[in-house]
Amino acid sequence: MGDDPPAAALFPTTCWSQVGPGVGEAALERLAGRYWRPIRDWLRRELRLPRDEAAELAQDFFAWMLESGFVHKADPARGRFRAFLKVALRNYATDARRRAAAARRGGGRRFFSLDDSGSGADGAEGPLDPADPGAPPPDAVLDARWRAELVAAALAALERELAASGRGRQFEVFRDYFLAPSPDVDYRALAARHGATTGDVSNWLARAKRGFRDRLKEIVSDTVHDSEELEAELRWLFGREAR
Structural domain includes residue 47: yes
Number of domains in the chain: 1
Asked if residue 124 belongs to a domain, the reply is: no
Can you give the residue range of the structural domain that contains 29? 12-100+135-237
Give the pLDDT of residue 137: 83
Say if 113 falls within a structural domain: no
Q: Of the candidates 112, 143, 121, 111, which has an alpha carbon nearest to the alpha carbon of residue 45?
A: 143
For residue 121, tell me if it sits in a domain: no
- Cα separation, 28 vs 65, in Å, equals 9
Query: pLDDT of the chain along its 243 residues, tens only?
Result: 344 433 333 333 344 445 555 555 666 677 777 778 888 888 888 888 888 888 888 888 888 877 777 766 666 665 677 888 888 888 888 887 777 655 554 555 666 666 654 444 444 455 445 445 566 788 888 888 888 888 998 999 999 999 999 999 999 999 999 988 777 789 999 999 999 999 999 999 999 999 999 999 988 887 777 788 888 888 888 876 544
Distances (CA, A) of 199 to 162, 170, 180, 196: 19, 12, 21, 8
- Whether residue 170 lies inside any domain: the answer is yes
* 110 located within any domain: no
CB atoms inside a 10 Å sphere around CB 104: 13
7 within domain boundaries: no
173, part of any domain: yes
For residue 189, what pLDDT is reported?
93
Q: In 10 A of CB 114, how many CB atoms?
A: 12
- Predicted TM-score (pTM) of the model is 0.66
